[in-house]
Amino acid sequence: MRRTLAASRLDLVGLHSHIGSQIFDTGGFDVAARRVLGLVAQVRDELAHTIDQLDLGGGFGVMYNSQHTPQSPETLAGGIAEIVVRQCRELELEVPHLSFEPGRAIAGPSTQTLYSVGTIKDVRLGGPHHRLYVSVDGGMSDNVRTALYDADYSCLLTGRVSDASPEVVRVVGKHCESGDIVVKDEYLPGDVRTGDLISVPVTGAYCYSLASNYNHVPRPPVVAVRDGEIRTLIRRETEEDLLGLDVG
């Protein structure tokens, strides 16, 4: 900041803080706001400069599964604003203009991924315990977060109603890798069968943007749905797309 203030072509207007992802309460923002505002006060006292922009980043949690309990944007924003106002009062600072980056919180819940069920394998775990492995026509090529980050997703039977008793399933992909898991553990109706559709909610963030052609599997399309109408945003990849870069 000293170097910035000494540079004739730069104007220091704000500070930025980012503390991580999948945050479900304001505790971490409390610590971050106190530290950053303490720095604002230090700049005021030592460098005689006023900073009036504060970006506290993003990381607001989303409901990837039924155990996640995200707060509403209004609750989070109100709690963080209260923290900032209180700390500014203690430091005798003017309350800065606050910015946030709720990218995942907006994009994540907007989208779900639909898969077709292929092979179903019943694996006995000893005694009466067993698990159904449900393979689908996708996997780590369209959602690498489970393998890469140990992300924990949920899933739902889509397209029909079932009264069958629930069974614990593991949804796996088609890539022939031990890490090719989409959903680690979730309940689906015990009569889930080949050809069924299942959906994995909250895949609008960090899924398509991290997708790849792993094992030369084409990426799926992205389709918008509104008022019963569908619109293709990104078309499905084809084999021609995969071979299009070949020069020979």
207 as an active site residue: the answer is: no
Dihedral through CA 101, CA 6, CA 89, CA 105, nearest 10?
0
Selected catalytic residue, list 88, 155, 176, 207: 176
DSSP assignment, residue 208?
G
Per DSSP, the residues of 92-131 read: T-PPPEEEEE-HHHHHGGG-EEEEEEEEEEEEEEETTEEE
Q: Report d(CA 197, CA 6) in Å as an integer.
A: 61
Q: Closest Cα to residue 183, out of 172, 199, 174, 198?
A: 172
Q: Report d(CA 107, CA 206) in Å as an integer.
A: 9
Q: Strands 166-172, 129-136: parallel, antiparallel or unpaired by DSSP?
A: parallel
Q: Please report which residue ranges of the chain form alpha helices under DSSP H.
A: 2-6, 27-47, 73-91, 103-107, 145-149, 239-243
Q: Residues 138, 113: contact at Cβ < 8 Å?
A: yes
SS3 35: helix
Q: Provide the annotated active-site residues.
A: 176
